[in-house]
Amino acid sequence: MGNKSLVIAVLGLVGFWIVSSCLFIVNEPERAVLLRFGKLHHANIDPGLHFKLPVGIDEVRKFDTRVLALDSTPREYLTVEQKPLVVDSYATWRIVDVAKFYTSTSGDESRAARLLSSRIDNGLRDQFGVRTMHEVISGQRDELMHEITEIIDQFTRSEFGIEVLDIRVKAIDLPTDVSTDVFRRMRTAREKIAQDHRSKGKELAEGIRADADRQQTIIEAQAYKESERIRGEGDEIAAKIYADAYSRNPEFYAFHRSLKAYEETFSSKADLMVIDPESEFFRYLKHRSLNQ
């Protein structure tokens, strides 16, 4: 009874192993191919539970059909003007025909990535070679991406069973040596523009300064004219006042003027004057009374 149970257990294990080796599961995001004696026997196996012959006869290869990203190494391309540009790009792709993908790449995703990267490199080189720098940077960038995606997708579908969903340029830069030269020219151009602005500013400043000097001269002339007019009016009024005062008492006015003359004449001890004593200048010094 014990031996019989052991045999049954062994047979059960062998049966389970045979059944498990004959069944395989393809998950939802996957597709599979079935190889019989190393040759493709059944392709594009859908998700689910499937049957195969035991080990040594059939082999199952599964592939992820979700969208994958390919980040390319920045490369240098020439525009139609023979100007070099360093382009950093990436692409999104997925497997749509697992049979063709397996036969063309042996099911190696890294090999498929290398083949796709080579095609993208050639496509970008061709597209950049027929466009100007302005067009690839801003003018026709979207059109360039659309064209290269469509062209490469047609090729990879037919050759590799790969659908290229999108190819995008992340960055476009000038080579280091070219960038230095461009920056130098840009700096020179900016310095020239700055010098032009400075020259125009100096010219404008000279014009403003000349106009200010002219206005200053005009204002000073007008002020001098006005001051002379006011001074003339004042002198006229003063002369009138003096004339009125003189006409009221001429003798007193003459006496006052003589006193002022004496004060100014004899203000300094160092002055020396030779005057006739009978001169009219000493009139009020010779008389004690103003009436004499």
Side chain identity at 228, as an amino acid letter? E
pLDDT tens, the chain, 292 aa long: 466 666 666 666 655 566 556 766 777 787 777 777 767 666 777 776 766 767 667 677 777 788 888 888 888 888 888 888 888 888 998 888 888 888 888 878 888 888 889 888 998 888 888 888 887 777 677 888 888 899 999 988 888 888 999 988 888 887 776 666 667 778 888 888 888 888 888 888 888 988 898 898 899 889 988 888 898 888 888 888 877 777 777 777 777 777 777 676 666 666 666 666 666 666 666 655 544 4
- List strand residue ranges (DSSP E) for 6-83, in order: 23-26, 30-36, 39-45, 48-51, 58-64, 68-71, 75-78
CA 290 from centroid of its chain's CA atoms: 99
Contact 61, 35 (CB under 8 A): yes
Side chain identity at 43, as an amino acid letter? A
CA 74 from centroid of its chain's CA atoms: 23
Contact 35, 79 (CB under 8 A): no
Question: Helices H, strands E: what count in the chain?
Answer: 8, 9
Give me the residue spans of the domains in the chain: 12-63, 68-173, 189-248, 251-286
Contact 30, 109 (CB under 8 A): no
pLDDT at 15: 57
Domain 68-173 is found in CATH 3.10.450.50: no
Helix (H, G, I), strand (E, B) or coil at 130: coil
Instruction: Kindly provide the b/e burial profile for residues 267-292, where b requires at least 16 CB atoms within 10 angstroms of the residue's own CB.
Output: eeeeeeeeeeeeeeeeebeeeeeeee
pLDDT at 275: 65
Contact 35, 52 (CB under 8 A): no
Q: 152: how many CB neighbours lie within 10 A of its CB?
A: 21
CA distance 191 to 183: 12
Query: pLDDT (tens digit, 9 = 90+) per residue, 138-152?
Result: 767 788 888 889 999
CA distance 108 to 101: 9
Contact 99, 34 (CB under 8 A): no
